Amino acid sequence: MGDNNAGQTMDVFVLAGITLAVCVIIHFIYKTFGSKQKEAIEHETESNLDSPNEEAISETAVPENRTSGKSKKRAPWKGKTDFSHPWLLKNLKGHPGTVLLVDFSGNGKFMAATCNETVATVDSASAAAHRRKPRDRRRPPPAPTAPSTPQRISTEELAEALRPYLLSPKRMWALGYPLEIEPNSSKAVVYINPPPRPRLNPYTTWDVNAPEFVPGGSQSDSGRGSWGSTPRSDSDEETDIVEHLCVRCDHMFRMTRDGEYLTEDMCNYHWGRVSGDSCYSCCKAPVGARGCSIARFHVWNGTRPGMNGPLEGYVRARSPRGGVYAIDAEMCYTTAGLELASIAVIAADGRLVYKSLVKPSSPLLDHNTRFSGIRPRDLARATKTLRDVQNDILGFVGTDTILVGHALENDLRALKLLHSAVVDTCALYPHARGFPMRRSLRALSEELLGRSVQRGSGGHSPLEDARAAMDLVLLKVHEERASRQRAAISNQLQMLQPYDPLVSAA
């Protein structure tokens, strides 16, 4: 009984092994013949796609006698058949000649041969469209310079690096910064450099019969005496009348100290600067032409050439607070001159510290929107006065705080702030023609930072101008650091060079 069971078990194993072997053999045969059949189908499909349409070829074509697939030698051509089709133009690389024969290569790719370029069998416009375009060897236009932002450094490092660039009191006096008359006082004095006198024409002839000039006389007096102010007569003393020079049209106008105008004429002026070709940038009119803009009132800036003061209402910090801030202010014209209308303060890391609109204390004459960006609706919602802004500024500006700006004396005069630690980008990047010429913030930003500022028709932005001034200062600091590093490396290389008696003697 046991032998029978063992024999049955052995038969089951043998049967299972035979079945498995048969399955493996069938699977191998299926894979082998299936793959060959699939390759044949793909080869046939590719040949059908690559070959031209049989209807496009003339029926008079003589087929070629092909040899066996293993032999690579071709039988000689039995004859030439003229046929052509625009579809073949792609394969012939733009040759419009008569196609003589079409054949397939050994790998199944389409091949065509042509000659007789004199006979064109396709449309010339179609051939020109398929020809390769000539290569443009001209250099592409240079890409616009991307605006650069100098690397930020810590406030302590920046303050230490700016110590050598702080303006001295003498330099501040020459640039028109407000300086205190005496310590711990709210009165300041400002010195404004007189404008340069026009150069005399070298071809001007002198009249020997001209009357003698008497100082103080009325003869040949233009009415401007003392650069914009005239001696006051008895009637002027009684009515308290002052005379100012309009900063836009250079005409004298009269008004009372209370701000009432006694001159009724309109202000006709050019708002643009004089360019190198002696034309105004606003209307391209030559110098001396009638103004292209008209305003209702003449305006002045609140100062006169020479000594101005004592001026009331100035404040200053009393305790040290540290820090470096960039300030930019925008002003509007009032009866008292230029007054603060908007202010923005930027920290050394570029973040906004303070920004506010300011309500002028005197009657408003002109918002100066073209340059200040201030509109009537802006000042209509302004709630802070100059005194409020001064208190806010002194909350984070101390005696040792470094203030950065472009032409910062105008901002400090409008803010009525006395401060001695200032860095002015006008002094950092002086004009090539020297003082009192100054480079504009727009020109410096475009040249050094690749950034366009003060270009919009809506006026200047104090936030944008303050950031540009801070970036110019950072750029100067980085340039000085790089210059010192190059100098140190050069000194080290000179010390490592061998001693040469001839060079040393020379």
Per-residue pLDDT for 481 more than 60? yes
11 CA to centre of own chain: 92
CB atoms under 10 Å from CB of 167, counted, come to 19
Q: Are 405 and 427 in contact (CB under 8 A)?
A: no
> Quick one: DSSP state of residue 298?
-
Say how far apart CA 400 and CA 366 lie, in whole Å: 36
Say how far apart CA 225 and CA 339 lie, in whole Å: 26
pLDDT of residue 103: 60
> How confident is the model over 408-453, as pLDDT tens digits?
999 999 999 999 999 999 999 998 888 888 898 888 989 998 888 7
pTM for this prediction: 0.62
Whole-number average pLDDT of the chain: 76
Domains annotated on the chain, with CATH: 33-64+78-125 (no CATH), 155-193+307-490 (3.30.420.10), 225-295 (no CATH)
Q: Are 320 and 398 in contact (CB under 8 A)?
A: yes
**Are β-strands 324-334 and 402-405 bridged in parallel, bridged antiparallel, or unpaired?**
parallel
**Cross-strand pairs, 325:** 347, 403
Q: Are 269 and 291 in contact (CB under 8 A)?
A: yes
Residues in the chain: 506
> Quick one: DSSP state of residue 286?
B
Q: Which residues contact 506 (CB under 8 A, 6 or more apart)?
A: none
Q: Are 206 and 222 in contact (CB under 8 A)?
A: no
pLDDT of residue 110: 56
Q: Furthest-apart CA pair in the chain: how many Å?
A: 163
Split at pLDDT 50, 70, 90, the class of 265 is: confident
For residue 229, CA distances in Å to 152, 243, 261, 304, 305 come to: 48, 6, 16, 8, 9
Stretch among 119-128, 142-151, 264-273 having the lowest mean pLDDT:
119-128
**Cross-strand pairs, 111:** 103
> How confident is the model over 6-39, as pLDDT tens digits?
666 777 788 888 888 888 888 888 777 766 666 6
Q: Retrieve residue 160's tokens.
A: 């230490």
> Quick one: DSSP state of residue 94?
T
**Cross-strand pairs, 355:** 344
Cis preceding-peptide flag for 310 (omega within 30 of 0) = yes
Q: Retrieve residue 254's tokens.
A: 């009269």
Vertex 211 angle, CA 208 and 212, to 5°: 95
DSSP string, 465-501: HHHHHHHHHHHHHHHHHHHHHHHHHHHHHHHHSPP-H
For residue 65, CA distances in Å to 11, 62, 83, 139, 319 come to: 61, 9, 19, 54, 107
> How confident is the model over 342-351, as pLDDT tens digits?
999 999 988 9
For residue 185, CA distances in Å to 29, 30, 316, 418, 467 come to: 110, 108, 9, 10, 32
> How confident is the model over 179-219, as pLDDT tens digits?
998 887 889 999 998 876 544 343 444 444 444 444 433 33
For residue 130, CA distances in Å to 24, 49, 63, 97, 242 come to: 56, 21, 30, 14, 83
182 CA to centre of own chain: 44
> How confident is the model over 214-258, as pLDDT tens digits?
443 333 333 333 333 334 444 444 458 889 999 999 889 999 888
Nearest to 400 by CA among 215, 121, 163, 218: 163
Split at pLDDT 50, 70, 90, the class of 407 is: very high
Share of the chain above pLDDT 90, in %: 32
> How confident is the model over 43-60, as pLDDT tens digits?
555 555 444 444 443 444
**Cross-strand pairs, 357:** 342
